[in-house]
């Protein structure tokens, strides 16, 4: 029969690789996509859903177009990988043989990295860092706030998916409070990091669009999170106890559990890869892409995962068909919406150097920029969303 490619995870990375292989080598390869969910809500643009710029439906997708292209979608959870037999085990007891395996499970949350916080608490104090029901819960709680209420956000430590994501989220929550005409509502960010992505741009934006509403407090001031009490709605630090009508707690992250179970991670909790191909350094028949891998200078983003997927797809075709392997090139851009038509971006291009994915050129929005540039950035981000979701889901 045809060589078998199995992909675990149908998100930004796994969806792209399955789509790319089906488009370029659908006749030559047998492609199976193992994904635990029936639908996929994008984390990217989920902040815009919070801010009323998007509907929930518009950020929810499925794999029907890929199955129409011949990809076999198996709905189930991968629970183990037998790397010598080259099979994947599912929770229903079935096994799937592969010649090449792509592991793209995204992240798992380390709930107890935040003292006092647990998975059960996320039903009260949502993280919404994996999109779907958590995103809807955060939106409901945001919409239920009254003037004078406080939101307390605890962003994650590095490395985590979407470095500017927590700060775009704060902007979108502030936008909703402002649109309601609230004057006394506040958002406090208790950051475990001394600095964050696009900090100058966000600080300027909050000052301009939401004066007096948003306060960022770094670890040198709050001294560290001592305890989160989700039921009481409090976050205790070394210096103070903060009360929130809404707590948004985002814990530390690691590669999705299946990557750990298969022995593909190192001490960092993420998966080392070969920068030329996205091949796991632990197993030559396995590729790891997206948030689960260690991608050198690249941030964990959907744009990055999509870019890495194309390099992996090319390497898999070169392994299994007579296709040519091209030199690996990667790219990323992260847009963040601060307020209506005020969108900032950061991005870079990358290539392998000394065994690592290394930035070769980069750009970032400027403070004090012409509003027309910010509005054009927003249009660009909307076009990007349309393009990348087609690239992932067909
Ligand atoms: P995912 O997209 O999470 O896909 C993993 C898939 O694997 C999931 O569908 C999951 O169900 C499945 N899965 C996991 N384990 C198993 C298993 N054992 N068996 C079967 N299926 C399994 N990125 C951007 O580029 N731009 C943005 O503007 C942006 N905004 C963001 C905003 C927020 C609030 C957040 C949280 C993230 C944002 N991101 C953004 C980051 C982006 O969502 C992730 O980096 C991207 O989804 C990573 O893709 P992935 O394929 O690695 O993982």
- The string over 42-78, giving b where at least 16 C-beta atoms fall within 10 Å of a residue's C-beta and e elsewhere, is bbbbbbbbbbebbeeeebebebeebeebebebbebbb
Q: What pLDDT sits at residue 199?
A: 97
Pocket of ligand 1 contains residue 8 by CB under 6 Å: yes
Pocket of ligand 1 contains residue 162 by CB under 6 Å: yes
Nearest C-alpha to atom 16 of ligand 1 is from which residue? 105
Q: What pLDDT sits at residue 300?
A: 98
| Choice from 6, 8, 9 to test ligand 1 binding pocket (greatest atom count within 8 A of CB) | 9
Antiparallel, parallel or unpaired: β 286-288 and 234-237: unpaired
| Percent of the chain whose predicted confidence (pLDDT) is above 90 | 100
Q: What pLDDT sits at residue 341?
A: 98
Per-residue confidence at 130, pLDDT binned at 50, 70, 90?
A: very high
Q: What pLDDT sits at residue 25?
A: 96
Atom from ligand 1 closest to the CA of residue 388: 25
Q: How many angstroms separate the alpha carbon of residue 128 from the centre of ligand 1?
A: 12
Q: How many angstroms separate the alpha carbon of residue 225 from the centre of ligand 1?
A: 27
Per-residue confidence at 370, pLDDT binned at 50, 70, 90?
A: very high
∠ CA 300-304-7, nearest 5°, is 95
Pocket of ligand 1 contains residue 9 by CB under 6 Å: yes
| Choice from 19, 43, 80, 169 to test ligand 1 binding pocket (greatest atom count within 8 A of CB) | 43
Pocket of ligand 1 contains residue 225 by CB under 6 Å: no
Per-residue confidence at 326, pLDDT binned at 50, 70, 90?
A: very high
Pair 194, 218: CB distance under 8 Å: yes
Antiparallel, parallel or unpaired: β 286-288 and 100-103: parallel
**pTM greater than the 0.90 cutoff:** yes
| Percent of the chain whose predicted confidence (pLDDT) is above 70 | 100
Nearest C-alpha to atom 25 of ligand 1 is from which residue? 302
Which of helix, strand or coil describes residue 182? coil
Atom from ligand 1 closest to the CA of residue 40: 9
Q: What pLDDT sits at residue 21?
A: 98
Mean pLDDT, all residues of the chain? 98
Pocket of ligand 1 contains residue 334 by CB under 6 Å: yes
pLDDT tens, 86-128?
999 999 999 999 999 999 999 999 999 999 999 999 999 999 9
Q: How many angstroms separate the alpha carbon of residue 41 from the centre of ligand 1?
A: 9
Pocket of ligand 1 contains residue 34 by CB under 6 Å: yes
Crossing angle of the two packed helices 371-393 and 302-320, in degrees rounded to 10: 40
Average pLDDT over residues 54-59: 98
Count the neighbouring beta carbons within 10 Å of the beta carbon of residue 91: 11
Pocket of ligand 1 contains residue 172 by CB under 6 Å: no
∠ CA 161-165-169, nearest 5°, is 145
Atom from ligand 1 closest to the CA of residue 258: 18
Nearest C-alpha to atom 45 of ligand 1 is from which residue? 301
Per-residue confidence at 137, pLDDT binned at 50, 70, 90?
A: very high
Pocket of ligand 1 contains residue 185 by CB under 6 Å: no
Q: How many angstroms separate the alpha carbon of residue 13 from the centre of ligand 1?
A: 8
How many Å apart are CA 258 and CA 76, to the nearest integer? 13
Pocket of ligand 1 contains residue 160 by CB under 6 Å: no
pLDDT tens, 251-297?
999 999 999 999 999 999 999 999 999 999 999 999 999 999 999 99
pLDDT tens, 209-259?
999 999 999 999 999 999 999 999 999 999 999 999 999 999 999 999 999
Pocket of ligand 1 contains residue 73 by CB under 6 Å: no
């Amino acid at each position: 029969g045809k060589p078998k490619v199995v992909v675990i995870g149908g998100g930004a990375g796994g969806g792209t690789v399955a789509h790319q292989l089906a488009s370029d080598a659908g006749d030559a390869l047998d492609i199976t996509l193992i994904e635990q969910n029936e639908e996929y809500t994008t984390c990217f643009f989920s902040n815009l859903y919070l801010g009323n710029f998007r509907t929930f439906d518009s950020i929810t997708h499925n794999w029907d177009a890929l199955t129409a292209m011949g990809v076999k979608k198996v709905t189930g959870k991968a629970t183990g990988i037998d790397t010598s037999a080259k099979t994947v085990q599912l929770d229903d007891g079935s096994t799937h043989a592969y010649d090449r395996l792509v592991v793209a499970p995204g992240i798992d949350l380390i709930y107890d990295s935040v003292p006092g916080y647990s998975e059960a608490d996320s039903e009260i104090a949502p993280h919404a860092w994996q999109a779907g029901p958590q995103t809807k819960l955060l939106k409901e709680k945001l919409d239920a706030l009254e003037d004078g209420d406080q939101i307390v956000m605890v962003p994650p430590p590095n490395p985590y998916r979407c470095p500017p994501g927590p700060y775009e989220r704060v902007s979108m929550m502030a936008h909703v409070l402002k649109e309601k005409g609230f004057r006394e509502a506040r958002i406090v960010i208790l950051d475990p990091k001394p600095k964050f992505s696009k900090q100058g741009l966000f600080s300027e934006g909050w000052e301009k669009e939401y004066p007096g509403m948003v306060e960022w407090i770094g670890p040198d001031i709050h001294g560290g999170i001592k305890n989160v009490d989700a039921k009481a709605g409090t976050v205790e630090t070394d210096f103070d106890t903060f009360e929130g009508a809404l707590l948004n707690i985002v814990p530390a992250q690691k590669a999705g559990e299946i990557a750990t179970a298969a022995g593909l991670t190192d001490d960092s909790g993420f998966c080392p890869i070969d920068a030329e191909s996205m091949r796991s350094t632990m197993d030559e028949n396995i590729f790891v892409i997206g948030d689960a891998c260690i991608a050198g200078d690249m941030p964990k983003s959907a744009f990055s995962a999509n870019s890495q997927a194309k390099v992996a797809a090319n390497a898999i075709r070169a392994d299994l068909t007579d296709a040519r392997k091209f030199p690996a090139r990667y790219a990323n851009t992260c847009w963040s919406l601060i307020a209506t038509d005020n969108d900032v971006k950061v991005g870079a291009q990358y290539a392998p150097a000394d065994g690592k994915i290394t930035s070769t050129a980069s750009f970032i929005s400027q403070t004090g920029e012409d509003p027309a540039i910010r509005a054009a950035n927003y249009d660009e981000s909307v076009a990007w969303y349309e393009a990348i979701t087609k690239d992932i889901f067909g």
